[in-house]
Amino acid sequence: MENKRASALFTFVALSILAFVFLIPIGLVVMNSFKSRLYISSQPFAFPSSETFAGFGNYINGLTSSGFAAAFGRSVFITVFSVLLIVVCASMTAWYIVRANSAVTKLLYYLFVFSMIVPFQMVMYTMTYVVNKLNFDNLIGIVFVYLGFGSGLSVFMFSGFVKSIPLEIEEAATIDGCSPLQTFFRIVFPVLKPTAITVSILNAMWIWNDYLLPYLVLGTDDKTVPVAIQIAMQGAYGATDYGGFMAMLVLAIIPIVIFYAVSQKYIIKGVIAGAVKG
Protein backbone atom coordinates (compact mmCIF):
# COMPACT_ATOMS: atom_id res chain seq x y z
CA MET A 1 0.00 0.00 0.00
CA GLU A 2 2.82 2.37 0.93
CA ASN A 3 4.61 1.56 -2.32
CA LYS A 4 1.49 2.43 -4.32
CA ARG A 5 1.14 5.76 -2.49
CA ALA A 6 4.80 6.58 -3.04
CA SER A 7 4.52 5.67 -6.71
CA ALA A 8 1.39 7.81 -7.12
CA LEU A 9 3.08 10.74 -5.35
CA PHE A 10 6.18 10.42 -7.53
CA THR A 11 4.03 10.30 -10.67
CA PHE A 12 2.08 13.37 -9.56
CA VAL A 13 5.24 15.36 -8.81
CA ALA A 14 6.91 14.33 -12.08
CA LEU A 15 3.85 15.22 -14.16
CA SER A 16 3.47 18.53 -12.33
CA ILE A 17 7.08 19.43 -13.09
CA LEU A 18 6.62 18.48 -16.76
CA ALA A 19 3.41 20.53 -16.97
CA PHE A 20 5.20 23.52 -15.45
CA VAL A 21 8.10 23.19 -17.89
CA PHE A 22 5.76 23.02 -20.87
CA LEU A 23 3.72 26.00 -19.63
CA ILE A 24 6.75 28.26 -19.14
CA PRO A 25 7.01 29.32 -22.83
CA ILE A 26 3.28 30.07 -22.98
CA GLY A 27 3.53 32.08 -19.78
CA LEU A 28 6.45 34.08 -21.19
CA VAL A 29 4.49 34.87 -24.34
CA VAL A 30 1.45 36.06 -22.36
CA MET A 31 3.61 38.08 -19.99
CA ASN A 32 5.58 39.79 -22.75
CA SER A 33 2.42 40.57 -24.71
CA PHE A 34 1.66 43.24 -22.08
CA LYS A 35 5.13 44.82 -22.15
CA SER A 36 6.43 47.63 -24.30
CA ARG A 37 8.41 46.44 -27.33
CA LEU A 38 11.53 48.24 -26.08
CA TYR A 39 11.73 46.05 -22.97
CA ILE A 40 10.85 42.64 -24.41
CA SER A 41 14.33 41.98 -25.83
CA SER A 42 16.22 43.43 -22.87
CA GLN A 43 13.99 42.04 -20.11
CA PRO A 44 12.21 38.98 -21.50
CA PHE A 45 11.88 37.20 -18.14
CA ALA A 46 10.81 40.20 -16.05
CA PHE A 47 7.19 40.79 -15.09
CA PRO A 48 5.56 43.94 -16.47
CA SER A 49 6.11 46.95 -14.24
CA SER A 50 4.66 50.45 -14.23
CA GLU A 51 7.46 51.41 -16.61
CA THR A 52 7.24 48.47 -19.01
CA PHE A 53 3.48 47.81 -18.95
CA ALA A 54 1.87 48.58 -22.33
CA GLY A 55 -1.73 47.67 -21.53
CA PHE A 56 -3.69 46.35 -24.49
CA GLY A 57 -1.77 48.46 -27.00
CA ASN A 58 0.11 45.42 -28.29
CA TYR A 59 -3.15 43.60 -28.94
CA ILE A 60 -4.52 46.56 -30.88
CA ASN A 61 -1.34 46.72 -32.95
CA GLY A 62 -1.40 42.96 -33.45
CA LEU A 63 -4.98 43.05 -34.71
CA THR A 64 -4.24 45.82 -37.20
CA SER A 65 -0.80 44.69 -38.39
CA SER A 66 -0.13 42.13 -41.12
CA GLY A 67 -3.86 41.78 -41.82
CA PHE A 68 -4.28 39.63 -38.72
CA ALA A 69 -8.05 40.14 -38.44
CA ALA A 70 -8.61 39.01 -42.04
CA ALA A 71 -6.19 36.11 -41.55
CA PHE A 72 -8.13 35.09 -38.44
CA GLY A 73 -11.35 34.97 -40.46
CA ARG A 74 -9.70 32.88 -43.18
CA SER A 75 -8.36 30.42 -40.61
CA VAL A 76 -11.82 30.05 -39.07
CA PHE A 77 -13.39 29.46 -42.50
CA ILE A 78 -10.77 26.91 -43.57
CA THR A 79 -10.77 25.07 -40.23
CA VAL A 80 -14.55 24.81 -39.86
CA PHE A 81 -15.34 23.67 -43.39
CA SER A 82 -12.31 21.36 -43.64
CA VAL A 83 -13.27 19.61 -40.42
CA LEU A 84 -16.91 19.27 -41.50
CA LEU A 85 -15.88 17.80 -44.84
CA ILE A 86 -13.36 15.42 -43.26
CA VAL A 87 -15.86 14.13 -40.68
CA VAL A 88 -18.65 13.53 -43.19
CA CYS A 89 -16.56 12.05 -46.01
CA ALA A 90 -14.23 9.98 -43.80
CA SER A 91 -17.10 8.49 -41.81
CA MET A 92 -18.99 7.52 -44.97
CA THR A 93 -15.84 6.04 -46.48
CA ALA A 94 -15.06 4.04 -43.34
CA TRP A 95 -18.63 2.73 -43.21
CA TYR A 96 -18.47 1.57 -46.82
CA ILE A 97 -15.03 -0.03 -46.36
CA VAL A 98 -16.15 -2.02 -43.32
CA ARG A 99 -19.54 -3.08 -44.64
CA ALA A 100 -18.43 -3.95 -48.21
CA ASN A 101 -15.42 -5.91 -46.90
CA SER A 102 -14.06 -6.81 -50.32
CA ALA A 103 -10.53 -7.04 -51.67
CA VAL A 104 -10.89 -3.58 -53.20
CA THR A 105 -12.08 -1.96 -49.96
CA LYS A 106 -9.31 -3.67 -48.00
CA LEU A 107 -6.75 -2.26 -50.44
CA LEU A 108 -8.39 1.15 -50.10
CA TYR A 109 -8.20 0.90 -46.31
CA TYR A 110 -4.49 0.07 -46.36
CA LEU A 111 -3.87 2.98 -48.73
CA PHE A 112 -5.50 5.30 -46.18
CA VAL A 113 -3.38 3.79 -43.41
CA PHE A 114 -0.23 4.11 -45.54
CA SER A 115 -0.95 7.80 -46.12
CA MET A 116 -0.61 8.35 -42.37
CA ILE A 117 3.09 7.45 -42.41
CA VAL A 118 4.10 9.44 -45.50
CA PRO A 119 5.75 12.74 -44.44
CA PHE A 120 4.17 15.83 -45.95
CA GLN A 121 7.60 17.08 -47.07
CA MET A 122 7.86 14.13 -49.48
CA VAL A 123 4.80 15.20 -51.46
CA MET A 124 4.59 18.95 -50.94
CA TYR A 125 6.23 19.95 -54.25
CA THR A 126 4.15 17.62 -56.41
CA MET A 127 1.09 18.53 -54.34
CA THR A 128 1.66 22.23 -55.00
CA TYR A 129 2.01 21.59 -58.74
CA VAL A 130 -1.21 19.55 -58.89
CA VAL A 131 -3.11 22.07 -56.75
CA ASN A 132 -2.09 24.91 -59.05
CA LYS A 133 -3.10 22.95 -62.16
CA LEU A 134 -6.52 22.18 -60.64
CA ASN A 135 -6.99 25.82 -59.56
CA PHE A 136 -7.36 24.73 -55.94
CA ASP A 137 -5.02 27.48 -54.74
CA ASN A 138 -7.82 29.42 -53.06
CA LEU A 139 -9.90 29.32 -49.88
CA ILE A 140 -12.37 26.80 -51.30
CA GLY A 141 -9.76 24.58 -52.91
CA ILE A 142 -7.57 24.27 -49.82
CA VAL A 143 -10.54 22.78 -47.97
CA PHE A 144 -10.44 19.81 -50.36
CA VAL A 145 -6.65 19.61 -50.01
CA TYR A 146 -7.07 19.27 -46.25
CA LEU A 147 -9.70 16.61 -46.88
CA GLY A 148 -7.09 14.57 -48.72
CA PHE A 149 -4.41 14.94 -46.06
CA GLY A 150 -6.77 14.46 -43.12
CA SER A 151 -8.60 11.40 -44.41
CA GLY A 152 -5.95 8.81 -43.49
CA LEU A 153 -6.16 9.05 -39.71
CA SER A 154 -9.87 9.86 -39.79
CA VAL A 155 -10.83 6.80 -41.87
CA PHE A 156 -8.63 4.63 -39.65
CA MET A 157 -10.39 5.82 -36.49
CA PHE A 158 -13.89 5.64 -37.94
CA SER A 159 -13.30 2.13 -39.34
CA GLY A 160 -12.43 0.76 -35.92
CA PHE A 161 -15.64 2.14 -34.43
CA VAL A 162 -17.90 1.07 -37.31
CA LYS A 163 -16.83 -2.55 -36.72
CA SER A 164 -18.41 -2.38 -33.27
CA ILE A 165 -21.82 -1.29 -34.59
CA PRO A 166 -24.22 -4.28 -34.84
CA LEU A 167 -25.16 -4.97 -38.44
CA GLU A 168 -28.69 -5.90 -37.34
CA ILE A 169 -29.71 -2.27 -36.70
CA GLU A 170 -28.76 -1.35 -40.25
CA GLU A 171 -30.64 -4.35 -41.62
CA ALA A 172 -33.70 -3.29 -39.61
CA ALA A 173 -33.47 0.21 -41.09
CA THR A 174 -33.26 -1.25 -44.59
CA ILE A 175 -36.34 -3.42 -43.96
CA ASP A 176 -38.18 -0.28 -42.78
CA GLY A 177 -37.50 1.29 -46.18
CA CYS A 178 -34.40 3.39 -45.52
CA SER A 179 -32.00 3.98 -48.40
CA PRO A 180 -28.26 3.53 -47.79
CA LEU A 181 -27.83 7.30 -47.24
CA GLN A 182 -30.78 7.43 -44.86
CA THR A 183 -29.41 4.42 -42.98
CA PHE A 184 -26.06 6.09 -42.59
CA PHE A 185 -27.21 9.55 -41.50
CA ARG A 186 -30.16 8.42 -39.35
CA ILE A 187 -28.75 5.23 -37.81
CA VAL A 188 -24.96 4.96 -38.17
CA PHE A 189 -23.71 8.53 -37.94
CA PRO A 190 -25.40 9.33 -34.59
CA VAL A 191 -23.70 6.25 -33.12
CA LEU A 192 -20.35 7.54 -34.42
CA LYS A 193 -20.63 10.72 -32.34
CA PRO A 194 -17.72 10.01 -29.90
CA THR A 195 -15.28 9.27 -32.71
CA ALA A 196 -16.63 12.13 -34.83
CA ILE A 197 -15.95 14.59 -32.00
CA THR A 198 -12.44 13.21 -31.52
CA VAL A 199 -11.69 13.41 -35.24
CA SER A 200 -13.00 16.98 -35.24
CA ILE A 201 -10.77 18.00 -32.34
CA LEU A 202 -7.59 16.45 -33.75
CA ASN A 203 -8.12 17.87 -37.23
CA ALA A 204 -9.16 21.31 -35.96
CA MET A 205 -5.98 21.62 -33.88
CA TRP A 206 -3.86 20.50 -36.84
CA ILE A 207 -5.50 22.73 -39.45
CA TRP A 208 -5.65 25.82 -37.24
CA ASN A 209 -1.94 25.61 -36.37
CA ASP A 210 -0.74 24.49 -39.82
CA TYR A 211 1.72 26.86 -41.47
CA LEU A 212 3.36 25.05 -44.38
CA LEU A 213 0.32 23.90 -46.38
CA PRO A 214 -1.50 27.29 -46.41
CA TYR A 215 1.77 29.01 -47.24
CA LEU A 216 2.41 26.72 -50.22
CA VAL A 217 -1.19 26.76 -51.49
CA LEU A 218 -2.41 30.28 -50.68
CA GLY A 219 0.85 32.18 -50.41
CA THR A 220 0.84 35.56 -48.67
CA ASP A 221 -2.16 37.04 -50.48
CA ASP A 222 -4.73 34.96 -48.60
CA LYS A 223 -2.66 34.30 -45.50
CA THR A 224 -3.91 32.40 -42.49
CA VAL A 225 -3.05 33.12 -38.86
CA PRO A 226 0.27 31.17 -38.75
CA VAL A 227 1.41 32.80 -42.02
CA ALA A 228 0.39 36.26 -40.78
CA ILE A 229 2.39 35.73 -37.59
CA GLN A 230 5.42 34.58 -39.56
CA ILE A 231 5.23 37.66 -41.80
CA ALA A 232 5.04 39.86 -38.71
CA MET A 233 8.37 38.39 -37.62
CA GLN A 234 10.13 39.43 -40.84
CA GLY A 235 10.99 42.93 -39.76
CA ALA A 236 14.41 44.07 -40.92
CA TYR A 237 17.27 44.90 -38.54
CA GLY A 238 15.26 44.70 -35.35
CA ALA A 239 12.25 46.59 -36.70
CA THR A 240 9.88 43.81 -35.66
CA ASP A 241 7.19 44.83 -33.20
CA TYR A 242 7.73 42.05 -30.69
CA GLY A 243 4.93 43.31 -28.47
CA GLY A 244 2.42 43.01 -31.29
CA PHE A 245 3.98 39.69 -32.28
CA MET A 246 3.50 38.27 -28.77
CA ALA A 247 -0.08 39.56 -28.72
CA MET A 248 -0.76 37.86 -32.07
CA LEU A 249 0.54 34.58 -30.66
CA VAL A 250 -1.81 34.86 -27.67
CA LEU A 251 -4.77 35.68 -29.91
CA ALA A 252 -3.93 32.68 -32.10
CA ILE A 253 -3.70 30.34 -29.11
CA ILE A 254 -6.94 31.37 -27.39
CA PRO A 255 -9.50 29.83 -29.81
CA ILE A 256 -7.86 26.42 -30.02
CA VAL A 257 -7.28 26.31 -26.24
CA ILE A 258 -10.96 27.06 -25.61
CA PHE A 259 -12.03 24.48 -28.18
CA TYR A 260 -9.74 21.86 -26.67
CA ALA A 261 -10.80 22.63 -23.08
CA VAL A 262 -14.46 22.26 -23.98
CA SER A 263 -13.99 19.03 -25.95
CA GLN A 264 -11.00 17.33 -24.33
CA LYS A 265 -13.05 14.72 -22.46
CA TYR A 266 -14.02 13.16 -25.79
CA ILE A 267 -10.45 12.69 -27.05
CA ILE A 268 -9.35 9.62 -25.08
CA LYS A 269 -12.80 8.03 -25.29
CA GLY A 270 -12.96 8.52 -29.04
CA VAL A 271 -9.42 7.36 -29.69
CA ILE A 272 -9.95 4.18 -27.68
CA ALA A 273 -13.29 3.51 -29.33
CA GLY A 274 -11.93 4.06 -32.82
CA ALA A 275 -8.62 2.24 -32.50
CA VAL A 276 -9.42 -0.66 -30.18
CA LYS A 277 -12.99 -1.77 -30.86
CA GLY A 278 -13.55 -4.38 -33.55
Question: Which range of residues forms the domain containing residue 253?
Answer: 65-276
End-to-end C-alpha distance for the chain, whole angstroms? 36
Q: How far apart are CA 119 and CA 117, in angstroms?
A: 6
Q: What is the pLDDT of residue 101?
A: 85
CA 6/CA 16 separation, integer angstroms: 15
Burial grade of 131 (CB within 10 A; 0-12, 13-18, 19 or more): buried
Q: Which of 31, 59, 87 is the last residue of a domain?
A: 59
Mind listing the pLDDT tens digit for each residue in 172-211? 888 888 888 888 988 899 888 888 888 998 899 899 999 9
Q: Indicate the residue among 59, 88, 104 that finishes a domain.
A: 59
> Could you tell me the CATH number of the domain that includes residue 162?
1.10.3720.10
Residue finishing a domain among 11, 36, 59: 59
* Whether residue 152 sits in one domain with residue 37: no
Instruction: Judge if 79 and 211 occupy the same domain.
Output: yes
Instruction: Tell whether 74 and 33 lie within a shared domain.
Output: no
Q: 101 with 178, same domain?
A: yes
- Residue 97: predicted pLDDT: 93
107 in the same domain as 44: no
What is the C-alpha separation between 75 and 108, in angstroms, rounded?
Answer: 31
- DSSP state, 177? T
* Total count of domains within the chain: 2
- Statement to judge: residues 109 and 150 lie in one domain: yes
The span from the CA of 147 to the CA of 174, in Å, is 30
51 and 78 belong to one structural domain: no
Q: Are 17 and 95 in a shared domain?
A: no
Q: What is the mean pLDDT of each run of 10 residues along the chain (278 residues)?
A: 78 89 87 80 78 80 77 92 95 93 90 87 87 90 92 90 86 86 89 87 90 89 86 62 81 83 70 51
